[in-house]
Chain A
Amino acid sequence: AQTVTQSQPEMSVQEAETVTLSCTYDTSENNYYLFWYKQPPSRQMILVIRQEAYKQQNATENRFSVNFQKAAKSFSLKISDSQLGDTAMYFCAFTTWETSGSRLTFGEGTQLTVNP
Chain B
Amino acid sequence: NAGVMQNPRHLVRRRGQEARLRCSPMKGHSHVYWYRQLPEEGLKFMVYLQKENIIDESGMPKERFSAEFPKEGPSILRIQQVVRGDSAAYFCASSPRSAGNTIYFGEGSWLTVV
Total number of B residues with any Cβ neighbor in A under 8 Å? 28
- Determine if B42 and A109 form an interchain contact, defined as CB atoms under 8 angstroms apart: yes
Which residue of the partner chain B has the closest CB to A96? B100
A-chain residues with CB within 8 Å of residue B44 when the two chains form the complex: 106
Total contacts A-B at CB 8 Å: 78
Tell me, yes or no, whether B107 is within 8 Å of chain A by CB.
yes
Which label, helix, strand, loop or mixed, suits the secondary structure of the B interface? Answer: strand
Please tell me which one of the listed residues B41, B55, B91, B102 contacts residue A101 in the complex, with CB atoms under 8 A apart.
B55
Tell me, yes or no, whether A64 is within 8 Å of chain B by CB.
no
**Given A43-B89, A98-B99, A99-B98, A104–B104 Cβ distance below 8 Å?**
no
Of the listed stretches A11-19, A45-53, A66-74, A80-88, chain B binds: A45-53
Q: Which residues in A have some Cβ–Cβ distance to B below 8 Å?
A: 31-33, 35, 37, 42-47, 50, 52, 91, 95-109
Q: Which residues in B have some Cβ–Cβ distance to A below 8 Å?
A: 1, 31, 33, 35, 41-45, 48, 55-56, 59, 89, 91, 93, 95, 98-105, 107-108, 110
